[in-house]
Amino acid sequence: MDDSLRELYQEVILDHSKHPRHFGKMEHPTHEADGYNPLCGDKVKLYLNVDMDGRIADIKFEGRGCAISQASASLMTEMLEGRTVAEAEKLMGGFLHLVKGEDAGDLGEDDRERLDVMAGVSAFPMRVKCATLAWHTMKSALDGKSALEGGAPAKSE
């Protein structure tokens, strides 16, 4: 990766971290879950409203943590709103491959282009957990589980 592209990706991560999209509490979500990374202390609470057609009608998050975890949560919420649950799970699978440095060929071209900003995380194994925290929390919310170690079950209606 050339220096100008690396710098652009860093700017995107910092922008999402400093100005997170979909940040805040949601009243009356259909699904929610807490996520916690005990290695670094990152925390995220995810709220989803899934409509009758299985589409994510609204998504929000709260939390605190490093720039990578906050940027990843922001980017994720921006990309998942309006998608079906099946599409969200497929996107998560591709994202997990991407940040682990594996083949992410199952990502569509547009999704791959947007998520490439996080691909550099694969060079830092300890940061992969930061990048994937919100995504695992989203999956836990949809499954009705908690991603918070020792936490209560997630709300799922």
pLDDT tens, position by position, 85-99: 999 999 999 999 999
The residue among 64, 11, 70 whose CA lies nearest residue 41 is: 64
Q: Which residue has the higher pLDDT, 145 or 152?
A: 145
Assess if residue 25 is contained within a domain. yes
Assess if residue 152 is contained within a domain. no
Assess if residue 149 is contained within a domain. no
For residue 99, the domain's CATH number is: 3.90.1010.10
What residues pair up with 31 in beta bridges, in sequence order? 48, 156
Displacement of CA 43 from its chain's centroid (Å) = 12
Assess if residue 150 is contained within a domain. no
d(CA 123, CA 154): 32
Assess if residue 76 is contained within a domain. yes
pLDDT reported for residue 14: 86
**Could you give the number of structural domains in the chain?**
1
Assess if residue 87 is contained within a domain. yes
Range of the domain at 139: 3-143
Mean of the per-residue pLDDT values of the chain: 88
Assess if residue 71 is contained within a domain. yes
Assess if residue 78 is contained within a domain. yes
